[in-house]
Amino acid sequence: MSILILGIGNLLLCDESIGIRVATELENDPALEGIDVLDGGTGGFHLMGTLQEYDDVVLIDATLDSMPPGTIRVLKPKYSTDYPSLMSAHEIGLKTMIDAMILNGKIPNMHLVIISVKKVDDFGMELTPEVEAVIPEVKEVVRKIVKQIKKGETVIV
């Protein structure tokens, strides 16, 4: 069983970087020993081969939705249409990549951890206080998902 934790985002676009920031903080987490953690940048087709090497991928990303900033949700999408309708600035690349993996018959079990943000087009290196405040909770959600995968349990956070 192989598991990848994948943070997606753009470090130059404030809250859009939440996935990368969480992944970076999880890289040396003792609870995740033996689990690969990757900064996936803004996603896209260049990640497809890497993702297909794993049985399970925990993808962490920002999303534009109607939820208050900092809201955390866990989804288990099977198709690209199961992803939130407005996943951050790189939505098209990720959804297209998921469709391509489905078409070639090799797609890992995807576990999507999304964090609601208000905007993804503000330039800057700082997270807003609402989004920064949930980093510890997002990390704990990811740890729980990995633990459930390792035990062979249905992922329910």
Q: Let me know if residue 112 belongs to a domain.
A: yes
Domain containing 62 equals 3-150
Domains held by the chain: number: 1
Q: Find the CATH number of the domain harbouring 102.
A: 3.40.50.1450
- Of 26, 129, 149, the closest CA to residue 76 belongs to 149
pTM of the model: 0.88
Task: For residue range 73-102, list pLDDT tens digits in order.
Answer: 998 876 666 666 555 455 556 777 778 888
Mutual angle of helices 135-150 and 18-26, in 10-degree steps: 60
Q: Let me know if residue 45 belongs to a domain.
A: yes
Give me the chain's average pLDDT, please. Answer: 86
**Higher pLDDT residue, 119 or 108?**
108
Q: Let me know if residue 156 belongs to a domain.
A: no
Residue 83: predicted pLDDT: 65
Q: Which of 9-18, 28-37, 59-68, 115-124 has the lowest mean pLDDT?
A: 115-124
Q: Let me know if residue 157 belongs to a domain.
A: no
